[in-house]
Structure 1
Amino acid sequence: MSSFKVVQVIPALESGGVERGTIDVANYLAELKIHNSIISNGGLLENELNQEFIDHFKLPVHSKNPLVYFNLAKKIQEYIQIKKINLVHVRSRAPAWIINMMNKKNYKSIATFHNIYSGDFFLKKMYNKGLAKMDYIISISDFVKDEIIKKYRIKPQKISTIYRGIDTD
């Protein structure tokens, strides 16, 4: 497991289900003594990260301004090389576009579709498709999986469904 090096890229660590899932995965890996990273613009949930095993690289990946994406992509690519990351997990559309701009590829990429994003305008459809360009995709339900297969013409074998759960403790 020591060669397993993951970074999760999420716009911010404020409140919400996506943020909670990111924190939970990072802390679970930390419990296994696996060093891992999160790239985000930061937020209220930063203090829940296990500081010993989780690095937080603060960048404005929450931005929806494509003019800053190339600079962010360069910084993230340098971070990936320095940390020897071999798995990049994007959890939102803006970070997906940033990752897609990088000169890959010494790592695998995963995207989680937490939603079926709407929008009929051409640019909105193109923006929404950024997540579909990763090597592998996680959907949070069979409904989401079926919709993204239809909407983005993704091969079903590229998608795994991982159902969201709740911590009852």
Structure 2
Amino acid sequence: MKKVKILFYIYQMGAGGAARTLLNIINNLDRSKFIPVLVTLNFDGSYEKEVKEDVVFIKLPTKRLSKSIFQLSKIIRDEQIDIVFSTIPRVNTIAIVANKLSFSKAKNVIREADNLGGTWKTNLQLLGFGLVYKLSSQIVSLSEGVKDNLIKRYKIKPKDIEVIYNPVDVESITEKISSGRMNPEDENLFDTTDKIIITAGRLVEQKDQKTLLSAFAKVNQEIPSRLIILGEGPLEDKLKQQAKELNVFERVHFIGFKNNPYIYFQNADLFVLSSIHEGFSHVIAEALATGTPVVSTDCLSGPSEVLNKGEYGDLCEVGNIEEMAEKMTGVLSLEENNLEKRIAMGYTRAQHFDAKKIVKEYESIFLNSAVK
């Protein structure tokens, strides 16, 4: 059987969840059936070095999506691509247009990763994306909540949407924990009798670390704790100022982006996600895979699905400082046997999203789309 050649198109192989998802799919694809080709804009991404060596990796000579259309179109044609896979609305739109201009037989499979919408301007834009999305062969939603949003705001028919959860490479996470180590300057942060609370994500409004800092200040009054924040972003200075105003600056540590965050997760007592909205929330599934208990906001729409409505981790209302602090304190106060039970349940839940299982679902989509 002829192998299916798949072009994976993304803005950059950076530090975000979309890049991590593509990395997990690409690296776990069955090479007896598929040939992966990765195309990005002209950026250096932190996940590039983790892409398997047999992947054809093409970096376009532009940093602007709008200027990549004809270059991408030529690659689709010259490489005789069968499937063009992309994620994120603007990237999806460019991928679909480029494919149409290639005049090839390639099919578009697009992935929607977040619950977007709200203002009339954004909602109108999403309707426009929906019109373009309808030109694709298959639309993949990474959660049931995102599927509902596609139906409501993009006006996509339910039958055209397939829900596939994000792949979590449990094997890779386990290997990185066993073979990796923290940066030496970070090790002393964990050398303490204080409880360690950790979070990871871009320092932006969506992730709402502002609420987390306020909740942490309350937790620290009852249980001596440290908050470790992995990630970078434009709000770092504001968040540091907030920590000073809350009198917890000495207990809050901004340590930036880490290529191997899993060893940090594993050495923490609790992982907290404070987001306002998420598509799936890859990071809490990864935290469960490291054996770390999770507290998350019950935001639209991923956390509740990952944690199965609170069965595998605590959920709290978005922006509710008091409830978040209460949930955090509850986990940090668990007796040893209850804590061990919770950790075991969380690890079992992470297996539901194991990359080898999830990638098989993607492979089925790719094969079906190739013969449409």
Q: Same fold (TM over 0.5)?
A: yes
> More deviation in 108-117 or 98-107?
98-107
Structure 2 residue identity aligned to 1:91: T
Given the superposition, is the C-alpha separation of residues 47 and 22 from structure 1 closer, same or farther in structure 2, using an over 3 Å criterion?
same
1:98 to 2:97 alignment: no
Structure 1: gaps of 5 or more residues:
none
Q: Counterpart of 1:49? A: 51
Q: Give deviations 1:54-106, integer Å, cap 9, x for gaps.
A: 11111267636xxxx2x411111110111110101111222222223332451
Residue 163 of structure 1 deviates from its aligned partner by: 1.5
Q: Counterpart of 2:11? A: 11
Q: Counterpart of 2:115? A: 116
Q: Counterpart of 1:80? A: 76
Given the superposition, is the C-alpha separation of residues 113 and 150 from structure 1 closer, same or farther in structure 2, using an over 3 Å criterion?
same
Once superposed, what is the RMSD of the aligned Cα atoms? 2.5
Query: How many Å separate the matches in 2 of 1:95 and 1:60?
Result: 16
Query: How many Å separate the matches in 1 of 2:58 and 2:128?
Result: 25
Structure 2 residue identity aligned to 1:96: N
Structure 2: gaps of 5 or more residues:
172-372
> More deviation in 22-31 or 6-15?
22-31
Structure 2 residue identity aligned to 1:117: L
Residue 9 of structure 1 deviates from its aligned partner by: 0.9
Q: Larger C-alpha radius of gyration, 1 or 2?
A: 2
Query: How many Å separate the matches in 2 of 1:93 and 1:130?
Result: 7
Q: Give deviations 1:26-75, integer Å, cap 9, x for gaps.
A: 111265473211111341211111122x11111267636xxxx2x41111
> More deviation in 91-100 or 79-88?
91-100
CA contact 2:117–2:126 (8 Å) conserved in 1: no
Q: Counterpart of 1:159? A: 161
Query: How many Å separate the matches in 1 of 2:152 and 2:115?
Result: 11
Given the superposition, is the C-alpha separation of residues 129 and 114 from structure 1 closer, same or farther in structure 2, using an over 3 Å criterion?
farther
- Aligned pair count reads 163
Q: Counterpart of 2:144? A: 142
Q: Counterpart of 2:203? A: none
Q: Percent identity?
A: 23
Given the superposition, is the C-alpha separation of residues 166 and 123 from structure 1 closer, same or farther in structure 2, using an over 3 Å criterion?
closer
Q: Counterpart of 2:2? A: 2
Residue aligned with 2:8, SS: strand
> More deviation in 104-113 or 85-94?
104-113
Residue 121 of structure 1 deviates from its aligned partner by: 4.5
Q: Counterpart of 1:40? A: 40
Query: How many Å separate the matches in 1 of 2:149 and 2:122?
Result: 19
1:58 to 2:49 alignment: no
Structure 2 residue identity aligned to 1:13: M
Q: Which has the higher helix share?
A: 2
- TM-score normalized with structure 2 length: 0.40
Residue aligned with 2:4, SS: coil
Q: Which has the higher contact order (CA 8 A, sep 6+)?
A: 1
Residue 126 of structure 1 deviates from its aligned partner by: 2.1
Query: How many Å separate the matches in 1 of 2:104 and 2:77?
Result: 10
1:29 to 2:29 alignment: yes
Query: How many Å separate the matches in 2 of 1:62 and 1:119?
Result: 28
Query: How many Å separate the matches in 1 of 2:8 and 2:62?
Result: 12
Query: How many Å separate the matches in 2 of 1:82 and 1:34?
Result: 17
Residue aligned with 2:69, SS: helix
Residue 129 of structure 1 deviates from its aligned partner by: 4.4
CA contact 1:40–1:58 (8 Å) conserved in 2: yes
Residue aligned with 2:153, SS: helix
- TM-score normalized with structure 1 length: 0.82
Q: Give deviations 1:94-151, integer Å, cap 9, x for gaps.
A: 2222223332451111111110212525367426743634321110111110111111
CA contact 2:138–2:160 (8 Å) conserved in 1: yes
> More deviation in 145-154 or 122-131?
122-131
